Structure formats: structure tokens, C-alpha cells
Amino acid sequence: QSVLAQPPTVSGAPGQRVTISCAGSSSNIGADADVHWYQQLPGAAPKILIYGDNNRPAGVPDRFSASKSGASASLSITGLQAEDEADYYCQSYDYSLSGSHVVFGGGTKLTVL
Amino acid sequence: QVHLAESGGALVMPGGSLRLSCEASGFIFSESFMSWIRQAPGKGLEWIANIGSSGTTIYYADSIKGRFTISRDNAKNSLYLQMSSLRAEDTALYYCARDNGYSYGYDSWGQGTQVTVSS
């Protein structure tokens, strides 16, 4: 059971828009902890897609965007392309008495129909 | 160009030990926080340990606390994970990643090294 909850799967047709949710709690996203998103293509290492809630690293297409509200975050992909088929993970920080720990969502597999 | 290369993964029996290494290049390793993150077969990402730039700040996930030790040698640009009392559930691909801070996330990842715990 991941600290951050993501839907296991989402799908969309080429050209469509999909959204992947990431639900946290008052000890992580709700505490205004930064949220980052990673894309993991089949057989590859994860790659950062969005950092600091809604910022794209150089080279990431503007089809990818993200937002955060309350204890949840979401990743949106517009103009879906076949190459977007991958696993997507949200990541944040959980604040507890023992300190700040990194937490990941369980991941969402995106299928491009 | 940032490059991280893990090594040391192997097939090991339950209860055994293993030491993973991660060699870094292309950036000032001694100024970077680093982490180990693992991915069990067909599963998601699991953060397991962080180490600060000087090696004095360390955090562990509860799942491995007391069994694994993260360390670094800045003179060798290397990160380590000493694993002991290994269990079947430790079977995973182990990644080292550069932690660029709370606001920037993990901006660089290695390709991973496979650890399989089985008799």
C-alpha cells in the first residue's frame, strides 16, 4: 500500500488528453511538500518529467503539465502519442516525527489505444 | 553529463549479504545528496535510503532499517549500499539516484543493478 495513491491504469487514444491523479494526505502533499513526476518507459530507468509541482525540465514537451491542490496532485498529458505509453510515478515527501521521508505513488500504467 | 553506474547485484541466499556500489561522474558528487531506490519485479518504485553530501545525514525506510547501511566515499565519487539479512522480498532492481533537493526531485538515475534473493 503506497503512501501516495495513483490509479493503476489509464488509457487514451492518440491525440486525446489523459490525467493521472496522485492522492496524498496532510503529512505529505497536504503539508505543501513538493510533488515530482517520473516517466518510466518499458525496460528503462525512471526519468524526471515534472519537478517542483509543475515545472518541466529542459527537453520535456509542453504536452506534459501538472498541478497540485490540497492533498492531491495530478499529471496531464495532452495530444497523446504512442511514445507516451509508459509507467508514471508521483513522488513527494512525508513528514513524521522521525523526519522527512521520500514517498512514491504506486505508479500508473498509461496505455495509448 | 551526469552518469551513474550501479554494480554489485547478484543472486544471494536468504540471510546473506551483498554490497552494492554506484560510481558517479559528470557532476560534483561531494556536493550532492544521493539515494537508493528499488523496484521489485512488476512493482513500483520504493525509496530505501538517503545520504547527505558529507555522509552525516542519513535516512532509511522502515522496510530495511537495521539491515541495510548506506555510505559514500566522496574521494572515489562512489555511493554504497551494504545489505545484510537479505529476504526474498528484497529481490528488486536497485537504482542509485541523485537527489537534487526537495524542489527538484531525482534528476539523474543509473540503470540499476539486479539483486535476487533465493535459495
Please write the tens of the pLDDT for every residue from B11-41.
999 999 999 999 999 999 999 999 999 999 9
CB pairs under 8 A between A and B: 59
CB atoms A48 and B35 under 8 Å: no
Interface of A with B in 73-92 (CB under 8 A): 87, 89, 91
Contacts of A93 in chain B (CB under 8 A): 102
Is residue B93's pLDDT more than 90? yes
* Assigned C-alpha cell, A98: 522521525
What confidence tier does B104 reach under pLDDT thresholds 50, 70, 90?
very high
pLDDT value of residue B82: 98
- Pairwise CA distance, residues B57 & B100, whole Å: 15
CB atoms B45 and A101 under 8 Å: no
Please state the rounded mean pLDDT for residues B98-103.
90
Is residue A97's pLDDT more than 90? no
| Residue in the structure block whose three cell numbers are 495530478 | A74
Q: Which residue has the higher pLDDT, A109 or A2?
A: A109
- Pairwise CA distance, residues B53 & B61, whole Å: 19
Contacts of B59 in chain A (CB under 8 A): 99-101
Please state the rounded mean pLDDT for residues B72-76.
98
What confidence tier does A77 reach under pLDDT thresholds 50, 70, 90?
very high
Q: Does A95 touch chain B (CB under 8 A)?
A: no
Beta bridge partners of A95: A100
Cβ burial, residue A63 (10 Å; 0-12/13-18/19+): middle
Give A70-96 as a 3 state SS string: CCEEEEEECCCCHHHCEEEEEEEEEEE
Find the farthest-apart pair of alpha carbons in chain A and give their distance in angstroms, rounded: 46
Nearest CB to A48 within list B44, B47, B105: B105
- Pairwise CA distance, residues A10 & A30, whole Å: 24
Contact A80, A16 (CB under 8 A): yes
